């Protein structure tokens, strides 16, 4: 996959320029994003993941009532990672709120952005159509071709460490996806990815023994 960091930056800036003229602050916030997703400990939750997520948001752009807020939530959703207490999403949402407040993004939209990020913790269905499209875009890797899925699974393993404890925890997470009535909450993503996602997940569970 080609990573177009410049394009992502341009979209990020275009979402925020209507609210701030502080280009130095914008650059600083963006640089913090780049540094976080470039952490050498990351193997899946990297700029490649952001690019994939961005591509998936493009698929549903005309379905979103607020693409800009969804895009900003995408940028920040994994900015904090490797929290031992499992608070990645909460900490990421706090960074988003901090940055967006400083950049004078509307407070009601900051709340929506935070809610989107927090929704990636469980990927449960939501009353908000935008949030459902957002979490489906985040989950779309599950329905990728078998080769891309294998790379994703290997990346997750590398981030968490190769151990029996990882295998047990990973199987629980994967099984929770299979137990969902629908992994993908929107018809767009369900039709595109549901069948392949269930095949990929089942095959990974079998491989974990």
What confidence tens digit (pLDDT) does each residue in 161-200 have?
Answer: 877 788 999 999 999 999 999 999 999 999 999 999 999 9
Residue 88 has pLDDT above 90, yes or no: yes
Does the CA dihedral 198-80-97-23 come out positive or negative? negative
Inter-residue contact 92 to 80 (CB < 8 Å)? yes
Give the DSSP letter of residue 184. Answer: S
Residue 1 has pLDDT above 90, yes or no: no
Mean pLDDT of 77-105: 95
Give the DSSP letter of residue 20. Answer: -
Burial 148-184 (b: 16+ CB within 10 A, else e): ebeebbebbbebeeeeeeeeeebeeebeebeeeeebb
Inter-residue contact 138 to 120 (CB < 8 Å)? yes
- Supply the Cα-derived Rg of the chain in whole angstroms: 17
Helix 23-37 / helix 88-102 crossing angle, nearest 10 deg: 160
Which residues are within 8 A (CB) of 53 and not within 5 positions of it... i.e. 6 or more apart? 74, 77, 137, 138, 140
Which residues are within 8 A (CB) of 93 and not within 5 positions of it... i.e. 6 or more apart? 76, 113, 114, 117, 118
For 136-165, write each residue's pLDDT tens digit.
999 999 999 999 999 999 999 999 887 778
- In angstroms, the Cα distances linking 190 to 7, 208, 209 are 28, 26, 28
**Distance (Å, whole) CA 26 – CA 61:** 24
Tracing tokens 């900003």 back to the chain, one arrives at 72
Residue 3 has pLDDT above 90, yes or no: no
Cα angle value 172/120/110 (rounded, 5°)? 160
What's the whole-model pTM score?
A: 0.96
Q: pLDDT band at 58, cuts 50/70/90?
A: very high
Output the six-digit token pair for 84: 């031992």
């Amino acid at each position: 996959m080609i990573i177009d960091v410049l394009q992502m930056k341009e979209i990020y800036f275009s979402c925020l320029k209507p609210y701030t003229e502080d280009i130095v602050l914008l650059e600083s916030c963006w640089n913090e994003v780049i540094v976080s997703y470039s952490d050498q400990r990351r193997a899946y939750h990297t700029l490649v993941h952001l690019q994939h997520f961005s591509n998936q948001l493009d698929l549903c752009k005309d379905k979103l009532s607020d693409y800009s807020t969804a895009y900003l939530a995408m940028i920040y959703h994994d900015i904090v990672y490797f929290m031992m207490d499992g608070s990645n999403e909460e900490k990421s949402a706090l960074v988003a709120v901090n940055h967006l407040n400083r950049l004078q993004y509307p407070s009601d939209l900051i709340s929506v952005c935070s809610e989107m990020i927090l929704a990636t913790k469980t990927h449960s269905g939501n009353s908000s159509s935008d949030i459902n499209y957002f979490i489906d875009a985040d989950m779309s890797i599950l329905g990728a071709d078998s080769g891309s899925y294998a790379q994703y699974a290997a990346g997750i393993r590398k981030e968490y460490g190769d151990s029996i404890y990882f295998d047990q925890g990973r199987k629980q997470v994967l099984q929770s996806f299979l137990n969902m009535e629908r992994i993908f909450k929107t018809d767009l993503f369900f039709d595109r990815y549901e069948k392949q996602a269930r095949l990929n997940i089942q095959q990974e569970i079998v491989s974990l023994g």
